[in-house]
């Protein structure tokens, strides 16, 4: 290596000795090569990386400093549009990111595919790096769906930072879903509660598939406790169980999706079991006779379903010669409900569906009577 030309002699991958020293974290060798005249901004490899690019991948701050002090361009982009900053962020290296930002690295540079340093940091769930980037002026681009990514990572700290920096709590992704819908699908009750406290709309309807947060619960939340808590959280914060989108009524949808926990909770909370979707022939009880079990059929009837509203012949829907659901329905049709059962229906109607359980809890009734009215006891 007696002259400048040999110092930059590429290997089979078109990387120079300075690339190799940088990639392997040899800070002293990097300084020596630069002192001897090596090209600090030489490009190599199929992505045309500079030594600074490869040092960012290895995350060696001493090497990065040596290259920068030797004249390396911190904003040089490779063939994919990646800069040293975005590479350092993708490696999660807080020290390197801070150093580059302090030197003036372009915080809002976009790689190919609209990828920014902030988008990478949020996707990686890196709280300190997200904080650094926002402090240095990183823009929140709503089409990047940063809030949704933060919710998927269950990162409350990042969600808080994004909201404080201009993120939208009701931002929509490409499917029309909101961060609250994502929190519901992830069964993250604390996050869902936090988003609602910050103004998340529990009644938002996806413009793509017509789902609301209640529809999402019906489709994706199968565990009984989580389903019950999420549905109650949504309803007590304004979710309309009786609103029909082009996915249909949430109650009907939950029955068709065979989600007994969600369907049961909605009925207990006061969903109108007599509502019909005029676009289809089925009602709540017809759906339950086809898709649900005997217990849900009983819950719907004891919630006040009017048998005259049933559009389908249950005997044509039975799957076996002896069908417990059909037998029970026949019994109800031929034997009137008891005074106790009728009284429960009247009390539930008076309480309404806005906060049925909350209103019920305020009544001076024994716990067992409250459970009976709430359909926890049939």
Predicted pLDDT of residue 25 = 87
pLDDT band at 319 (very low <50, low <70, confident <90, very high): low
Say whether pLDDT at 24 is over 80.
yes
**pLDDT tens by residue, 286-302:** 999 988 999 999 999 99
> Among 117-121, 242-246, 275-279, 323-327, which is the least confidently predicted range?
275-279
Residue 221 has, within 13 A of its CA and on its CB side, a CA count of 27
Q: Which DSSP state fits 144?
A: G
**pLDDT tens by residue, 186-244:** 999 999 999 999 999 999 999 888 999 999 999 999 999 999 999 999 999 999 999 88
How far apart (Å, rounded) are the C-alpha atoms in residues 183 and 169?
Answer: 12
Q: Which domain, by its residues, includes 200?
A: 169-268
Residue 12 lies in a domain: no
Q: Which DSSP state fits 371?
A: H
Residue 51 lies in a domain: no
Does residue 206 sit in the same domain as residue 281? no
Predicted pLDDT of residue 321 = 63
Q: Which residues lie below 8 Å from residue 77, measured CB to CB, with a gap of 6+?
A: 83, 109, 111
Vertex 256, ends 250 and 259: CA angle to 5°? 75
pLDDT band at 13 (very low <50, low <70, confident <90, very high): low
Number of domains in the chain: 3
How far apart (Å, rounded) are the C-alpha atoms in residues 222 and 235?
Answer: 18
Predicted pLDDT of residue 244 = 86
Does residue 261 sit in the same domain as residue 313? no
- Determine the average pLDDT of the residues in 266-282: 86
User: Does this model's pTM top 0.85?
Assistant: yes
Q: What is the mean pLDDT of the chain?
A: 91
How far apart (Å, rounded) are the C-alpha atoms in residues 374 and 378?
Answer: 9
For the chain, helix (H) and strand (E) counts, in that order, are: 24, 0
Does residue 232 sit in the same domain as residue 263? yes
Please say which residue of 268, 299, 320 terminates a domain.
268
Does residue 350 sit in the same domain as residue 317? no
Q: Which residues lie below 8 Å from residue 345, measured CB to CB, with a gap of 6+?
A: 302, 303, 304, 337
Residue 136 lies in a domain: no
pLDDT band at 330 (very low <50, low <70, confident <90, very high): confident
Residue 279 lies in a domain: yes
Does residue 196 sit in the same domain as residue 211? yes
SS3 245: strand
Does residue 304 sit in the same domain as residue 263? no
Residue 30 lies in a domain: no
Residue 268 has, within 13 A of its CA and on its CB side, a CA count of 24
Residue 44 lies in a domain: no
- Determine the average pLDDT of the residues in 128-139: 97
pLDDT band at 4 (very low <50, low <70, confident <90, very high): very low
pLDDT band at 126 (very low <50, low <70, confident <90, very high): very high
Predicted pLDDT of residue 223 = 94
Please say which residue of 215, 249, 268 terminates a domain.
268
Residue 229 or 316, more confident: 229
Residue 60 lies in a domain: no
């Amino acid at each position: 290596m007696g002259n400048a030309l040999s110092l930059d002699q590429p290997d089979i991958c078109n990387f120079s000795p300075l690339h190799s020293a940088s990639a392997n974290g040899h800070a002293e060798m990097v300084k020596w090569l630069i002192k001897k005249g090596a090209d600090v901004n030489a490009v190599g490899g199929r992505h045309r990386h500079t030594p600074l690019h490869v040092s960012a991948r290895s995350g060696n701050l001493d090497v990065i400093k040596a290259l920068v002090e030797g004249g390396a361009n911190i904003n040089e982009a490779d063939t994919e549009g990646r800069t040293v900053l975005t590479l350092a962020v993708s490696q999660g290296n807080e020290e390197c990111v801070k150093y580059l930002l302090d030197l003036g690295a372009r915080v809002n540079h976009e790689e190919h595919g609209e990828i920014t340093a902030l988008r990478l940091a949020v996707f990686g769930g890196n709280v300190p790096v997200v904080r650094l980037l926002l402090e240095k002026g990183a823009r929140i681009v709503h089409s990047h769906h940063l809030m949704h990514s933060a919710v998927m990572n269950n990162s409350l700290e990042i969600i808080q930072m994004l909201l404080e920096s201009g993120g939208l709590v009701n931002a929509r992704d490409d499917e029309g879903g909101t961060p609250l819908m994502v929190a519901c699908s992830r069964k993250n009750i604390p996050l869902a509660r936090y988003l609602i406290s910050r103004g998340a709309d529990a009644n938002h309807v996806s413009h793509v598939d017509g789902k609301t947060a209640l529809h999402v619960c019906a489709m994706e939340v199968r565990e009984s406790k989580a389903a019950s808590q999420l549905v109650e959280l949504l309803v007590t914060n304004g979710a309309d169980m009786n609103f029909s989108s082009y996915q249909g009524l949430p109650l009907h949808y939950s029955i068709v999706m065979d989600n007994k926990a969600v369907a049961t909770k909605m009925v207990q909370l006061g969903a109108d079991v007599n509502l019909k979707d005029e676009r289809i022939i089925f009602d709540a009880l017809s759906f339950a006779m086809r898709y649900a079990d005997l217990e849900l059929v009983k819950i719907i009837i004891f919630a006040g379903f009017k048998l005259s509203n049933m559009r389908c012949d249950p005997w044509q829907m039975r799957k076996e010669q002896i069908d417990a659901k059909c037998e029970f329905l026949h019994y109800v049709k031929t034997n009137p409900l008891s005074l106790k059962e009728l009284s429960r229906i009247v009390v539930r109607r008076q309480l309404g569906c806005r906060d049925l359980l909350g209103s019920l809890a305020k009544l001076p009734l024994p716990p067992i009577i409250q459970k009976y009215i709430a359909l926890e006891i049939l």
